[in-house]
Amino acid sequence: MATDFVELLLPNVRSMEGGEEQVVAALELLHSDIGQGVKDPEGPVEEKEVKEE
């Protein structure tokens, strides 16, 4: 799945200087954060209840 995401992103950033390296670095950081269980810095998203009538 991650490979599909990278393949989708790479054509869009290859034209940018250093774009491919930035994508790889961002994905590595994200993978590291997920592995360490890092929480969202903005906190949890509160779900609002929808009242049905």
Q: What share of the chain is helix, strand, coil (3-state, %, to 5)?
A: 55, 0, 45
Per-residue pLDDT tens for 1-49? 556 766 776 676 766 777 777 777 888 888 787 777 656 666 655 666 7
Token duo for residue 17: 């200087």
Confidence check: pLDDT of 51 > 60: yes
The pLDDT of residue 8 is 74
The pLDDT of residue 29 is 82
